[in-house]
Amino acid sequence: MCLLIGPAGVGKTLLLKRLQAINFLSKGAVNGIGDPPTTIPTVGTNLVTILTGQKNEITVRELGGSMGPIWHNYLKDTDTVIYMIDLTNRLQVSAACIQLLMLLSHSDTKNLPFLLLFNKIDVTTAMTQSEVQSLFRMNGILKHAVQKINILEISAKSGNSLDKVVRWINSNHKQAEQS
């Protein structure tokens, strides 16, 4: 199972709805992205099955941002973690960074691959890569983390780079099954 977490309002529910609705062509291109669906904040958990290939399905468990204090309770049944951050919410950066560091230091995550998703890259007020690197001190996190961490910039709203998210989920899920 893949765990999708992050602070409230970062776009986790929209991401899941988009990933469910996308039809992937044989070459991995996105087909039929359409208009973004409406969403409401997740209270509790949300289980969604995503088709990542012709016959590959993966279950993703989204945890609401308000559940941050108990996210660690869901780590044991997880083989991959996606941590989502809103690039437009500068007030949320420090709390998001602390939550990420707590997850990375938890004993149940030491063998889990992480995908950091920086969402809302299409918004003009989004932080630049240099701002993110500075505020999150990404070089230090990447250097000291024991986990394999990948980073993607996406737009759940426009669909930008969602194919890369599915490829990451698919490849890391297969690796977890083989372990």
Beta-sheet pairing, 45-51 with 114-119 = unpaired
Report d(CA 122, CA 136) in Å as an integer: 20
The per-residue pLDDT for 52 is: 77
The per-residue pLDDT for 165 is: 94
pLDDT (average), residues 120-136? 91
Residue 143 exposed, middle or buried by CB count within 10 Å (0-12, 13-18, 19+): exposed
Query: Which residue type does 165 have?
Result: V
- Mean pLDDT rounded to a whole number for the chain: 87
Nearest C-alpha neighbor of 166 from the set 7, 34, 20, 37: 20
Question: Which range is least confidently modeled, 54-58, 67-71, 163-167, 172-176?
Answer: 172-176
Q: Which fold has domain 2-178?
A: Rossmann fold (3.40.50)
pLDDT tens-digit series, residues 47-104: 999 887 767 889 999 999 889 899 999 999 899 999 999 999 999 988 999 999 999 9
- The proportion of the chain whose per-residue pLDDT surpasses 90, expressed as a percent, equals 59
Work out the end-to-end distance of the chain between its first and last CA atoms, rounded to an integer number of angstroms: 14
Tell me if the pTM is above 0.75. Answer: yes
State which H helix or E strand residue 23 sits in. strand 23-24
* Every domain of the chain and the residues it spans: 2-178
Q: Residue 131: helix, strand or coil by DSSP?
A: helix
The per-residue pLDDT for 118 is: 96
Residues 6+ apart with CB under 8 A from 153: 87, 117, 118, 121, 129, 161
How remote is the C-alpha of 31 from its chain's centroid?
A: 21
Q: How distant, in Å, are the alpha carbons of 85, 128, 142, 156 from that of 122?
A: 14, 11, 25, 9
The per-residue pLDDT for 27 is: 43
Question: Which range is least confidently modeled, 7-21, 33-47, 69-83, 118-132?
Answer: 33-47
